[in-house]
């Protein structure tokens, strides 16, 4: 059980931010879970703020400084 969880975590952290966002959109941004307006604004944030700055980075290499820079440069 612990080995499966470790493998799953290792595989997820090998993703790029682009892959993680695509998976998140497919699994969590659905009208079964959220209102259409919420989905629209969340997708806008992902597409216009996060992906332009971090999309090619591997998830495991994203640092807090990367997040701060992304947020500060979005305004």
Overall size of the chain counted in residues? 75
* Residue 10 φ then ψ, to 5°: -60, -45
Helix (H, G, I), strand (E, B) or coil at 23: helix
Q: Which residue has the tokens 């307006």?
A: 37
Per-residue pLDDT of the chain (75 residues; tens, 9 = 90+): 777 777 776 676 689 999 999 999 999 999 999 999 999 999 999 999 999 999 999 999 999 999 999 989 887
Any idea where the domains of the chain sit in the sequence? 2-73
pLDDT at 51: 96
User: Which tokens is 4 given?
Assistant: 């499966």
* Spatial contact of 59 and 23, defined as CB atoms under 8 Å apart: no
pLDDT at 52: 94
Q: Which residue has the tokens 């980075």?
A: 57
pTM > 0.85: yes or no = no
* Residue 16 φ then ψ, to 5°: -85, 165
């Amino acid at each position: 059980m612990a080995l499966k969880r470790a493998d799953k975590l290792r595989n997820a952290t090998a993703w790029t931010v682009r892959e993680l966002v695509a998976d998140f959109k497919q699994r969590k941004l659905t009208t079964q879970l959220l209102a259409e307006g919420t989905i629209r604004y969340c997708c806008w944030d992902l597409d216009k703020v996060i992906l332009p700055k971090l999309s090619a980075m591997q998830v495991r290499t994203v640092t807090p400084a990367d997040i701060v820079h992304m947020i500060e440069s979005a305004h």
